[in-house]
A and B are shown apart, each in its own frame.
Chain A
Amino acid sequence: MEGSRALIRALKSEGLSVIFGLPGGAIMPVYDALLDSGIRHVLVRHEQSAAHMADGYARASGKVGVCMATSGPGATNLVTGIANAYMDSSPIVAITGQVPTSLIGRDSFQEVDIVGITTPVTKYNFQVRHASEIPAVVKTAFHVASNGRPGPVLIDLPKNVQTETSEVNFNPQLLVRTRTNNIDPDPILVKKAAEALATAERPFILAGGGVRISNAYEELRALSELLSAPVGTSLMGKGCFSEDHPLSLGMVGMHGTVEANRLIQQADVLLAVGMRFSDRTTSRPDDFCRDARIIHLDIDPSEIEKNKEVNIFIVGDARKTLRGIYELLAGQLVRNADSSLERIKEVKELLTQQISSNGAEGLSPCQVLKEARKVLPRNAIVTTEVGQNQMWAALYWKTYLPRTFITSGGLGTMGFGFPAALGAKVARPEAVVADIAGDGSFLMTENCLATSISENIPVIVIILDNRMLGMVAQWQRMFYKGRYSGTRLGRSPDFVELARAYGAHGERVESLNELSDVLRRAVSSDVATIIDVPIHPEENVLPMVPPGKGIDEMILT
């Protein structure tokens, strides 16, 4: 069998139904085999978007997303998307063409050392040397991408390997040692954690993306209710705990909610689940939860005291670990739920009075997002770009269900949201998918509109349009005496006309009524709707923790 056909067959045996990609010389044999395969191909206009689509697909579905590109520039264009998936532990497999093995190392046309380039941003990568290795490589790639702490894997396929005919065994062994022995938490540590939580007066649970990855939502909810412990999330954890639950406090961190940042600092025991104490969550790691005993659960042992010293570290699957703690405490623990809820309510009420919008011309992002939340269904999937739009979405877009809030957390990739929305829509065609964008970010991958139209993937894009690179401009106002350097975007383009040029709906809205009308139509539209919402150019994202401050030292107005 030819290598290219062996690849397709191996991918199908992993259950793959869609590939996001763009062809080129060194991957043509695979594209030829793809044509008769029954696998859907979504053609992008730039390979970075293919990686983001695969990532969005993976986050919305929990399945491995696959992207494909040719050698050289095709491969390097994937790199941002691969790095993005790496930082956010998202399972994708990237397949790249490569020049024939006889030409490797000679600076051949469209040759690049993509295995070398992606080594720091993949969980694992391969360069396949013989067609006979393909099934084992594919099986290993999917296994590595989705097991333990997920992440991207790259398969580099020289062109002669794609065309080579070889005996191929489709029942291969994995090419790496499996490491599933860290899934079950150590029962002694689970008991210690349970004891610490049982005696806590002000427990707090901080949930990260690991809760989503291990489907631990029910276990998280049950334990928080048992403990009457308020739950805050990291950005990646948003959606792991319904934000209309009385114990939900929203996001913790630099742009976290006031209630979450205040109460977490008052905690006497912190249970941190599937998160890594990133600098955007903790601000100052030494000051973060300074008075609390900290229990940290993560499946990745290298997270042990990487960023923050803790009292108890449990390596294991979040779901099993939370269940283990719950089972030890259930029936024994009697806690006065009212006092916790009362405390949360007080802080929340205080907050609503403190945070005021700028009140100037244009709609406020807060109003826009709250209106959109009213119109769009509870299970709508929201993606975001990066910057102010993202933090406003994190603050004001209430998320009720897992895998319905998809954002570039670790790498902070502008241009992620729109292709990720398309990937999510491919994974969940029945769901309404909306990208909450800024005008700066949207332009980075705006050409995905062509993919959206030609591949019939209707999504909604809400552009919070301040004609600025808003987050940088906010920092310039706060820390650079308001000197705008490189942050004014000017009046080009007209997003409504731009949408029309691609064959999408484009609308500009000036009021909440118009917004809800347009959104209602967009939900049932069979093409993408781009909604341009002019907002005040100098609106800040608040609250904000200035760099170097503790997370309860927030700027509020």
Chain B
Amino acid sequence: MEQETFIVGTIVENKPGVLHKVSNMLRRKGFNIESISVGPTEINDWARMTITFRADEATANQLVKQMEKLLDIVRAKILDQSKSVARELALVKLRVEDTRARSDAINYANVFRSRVVDVSPSTLMVEITGTPDKIDAFIQLARGLGLVEVSRTGVTALERGLNALHSEGEGA
């Protein structure tokens, strides 16, 4: 079946060992994960985990079912990407040995609407936010300029409108 990129939004209990249980399940079931991002939510007891992966539709559905089978997962759902906002943040460090390289880098950063967040005599760090494609494009460009290292957060995503992962489907 045809492979596509899926984004699964999940609410999980915010307690020790939950990330281990999730990553352990994903590994043992052989799911091919591109990124996982985790952080606290508006509710103290819950964390939100966003998982992106490439799979066919049946495999993606199975991943959601396996996630929901874990007792520490409150809800897992494949997000409709046309009705969601998905973003990733990356820190990109560039080597800029001379003034010419430095001003090129700053120009590119501006075109990508990213920000320079740190400067040293020979380096420059850019904070860029956007879709994974946009970040890929910037990193590709950065390779030509003198890329030192990159740290990406992985995708985080929310559905547009009033929908919330934890309130929809409650009690249904």
Contact = CB atoms under 8 A, between A and B. Distances in A.
B72 A304 contact: no
Nearest to B28: A120
Interface in B116-172: 171-172
Contact of A123 (B71, B74, B172): B71
Contacts, number: 35
A194 B169 CA distance: 27
A302 B67 CA distance: 9
A301 B65 CA distance: 6
A116 B23 CA distance: 12
A176 B61 CA distance: 24
B111 interface: no
Given A144-B71, A176-B71, A177-B71, A305 B61 contact: yes
Contacts of B113: none
A179 B75 CA distance: 12
Interface string B57-82: 01001100110110110100000000
A115 B16 CA distance: 12
B102 interface: no
Given A144-B71, A177-B71, A119 B62 contact: no
B54 interface: no
Contact of A305 (B17, B20, B58, B66): B58
A116 to B, nearest CB: 7
A302 B62 contact: yes
Contact of B24 (A120, A179, A302, A306): A120
Nearest to B73: A177
Contacts of A179: 71
A302 B64 CA distance: 8
B72 A306 contact: no
A304 B68 CA distance: 13
Q: Please classify the interface of chain B as helix (H, G, I), strand (E, B), loop, or mixed, using the class held by over half of its residues.
A: helix
A120 B71 contact: no
Contacts of A304: 61, 65
B38 interface: no
Given A305-B58, A305-B62, A119 B68 contact: no
Central interface residue in A119, A124, A302, A304, by most chain B CB within 10 Å: A302
Contacts of A306: 62, 65
Contact of A120 (B17, B25, B69, B72): B25
Contact of A119 (B24, B58, B74): B24
A287 interface: no
B21 interface: yes
Contacts of B21: 119
Central interface residue in B58, B65, B68, B172, by most chain A CB within 10 Å: B65
A300 B70 CA distance: 12
Contact of A115 (B17, B25, B28): B17
Nearest to A306: B62
A221 B133 CA distance: 58
B20 A116 contact: yes
Interface in A108-148: 115-116, 119-120, 123-124, 144
Interface in A180-235: 181
Nearest to B16: A127
Nearest to B15: A175
Contacts of A144: 71
Nearest to A178: B71
Interface residues of A, number: 17
A70 to B, nearest CB: 22
Contact of B66 (A116, A124, A302): A302
Contacts of A115: 17
A115 B20 CA distance: 10
Contacts of B74: 177
Contact of B65 (A116, A120, A302): A302
Central interface residue in B25, B58, B69, B171, by most chain A CB within 10 Å: B69
A300 B71 contact: no
Interface string A295-321: 000001110111000000000000000
B25 A302 contact: no
Contacts of B20: 116, 119
Nearest to A153: B71
Contacts of B24: 119-120
A301 B68 contact: yes
Contacts of B25: 120
Contact of B69 (A119, A176, A300): A300
Contacts of A124: 71
A392 B82 CA distance: 56
A306 B69 CA distance: 13
Nearest to A116: B20
B67 to A, nearest CB: 9
A304 to B, nearest CB: 6
A100 B74 CA distance: 32
Contacts of B171: 181
Nearest to A304: B65
Central interface residue in B58, B66, B71, B172, by most chain A CB within 10 Å: B71
Contacts of A300: 69
Nearest to B69: A302
Given A119-B24, A120-B28, A177-B74, A302 B17 contact: no
Interface in A302-344: 302, 304-306
A176 B66 CA distance: 17
Central interface residue in A119, A177, A181, by most chain B CB within 10 Å: A119
Nearest to B71: A176
Contacts of B58: 305
A490 B62 CA distance: 47
Contacts of B69: 300-302
Contacts of A301: 65, 68-69
Contacts of A123: 71
A115 B17 CA distance: 9
A170 B104 CA distance: 68
Interface of B: 17, 20-21, 24-25, 28, 58, 61-62, 65-66, 68-69, 71-72, 74, 171-172
Q: Which 7 A-B pairs have the closest CB atoms?
A: A302-B65, A176-B71, A302-B69, A119-B24, A120-B28, A124-B71, A302-B66
17 contacts: A116-B20, A119-B17, A119-B21, A120-B24, A123-B71, A144-B71, A176-B72, A177-B71, A177-B74, A181-B172, A300-B69, A301-B68, A302-B65, A302-B66, A305-B58, A305-B61, A306-B65
Given A123-B71, A124-B71, 18 more contacts: A115-B17, A119-B20, A120-B24, A120-B25, A120-B28, A144-B71, A176-B71, A176-B72, A177-B74, A179-B71, A300-B69, A301-B68, A301-B69, A302-B62, A302-B66, A304-B61, A304-B65, A305-B62
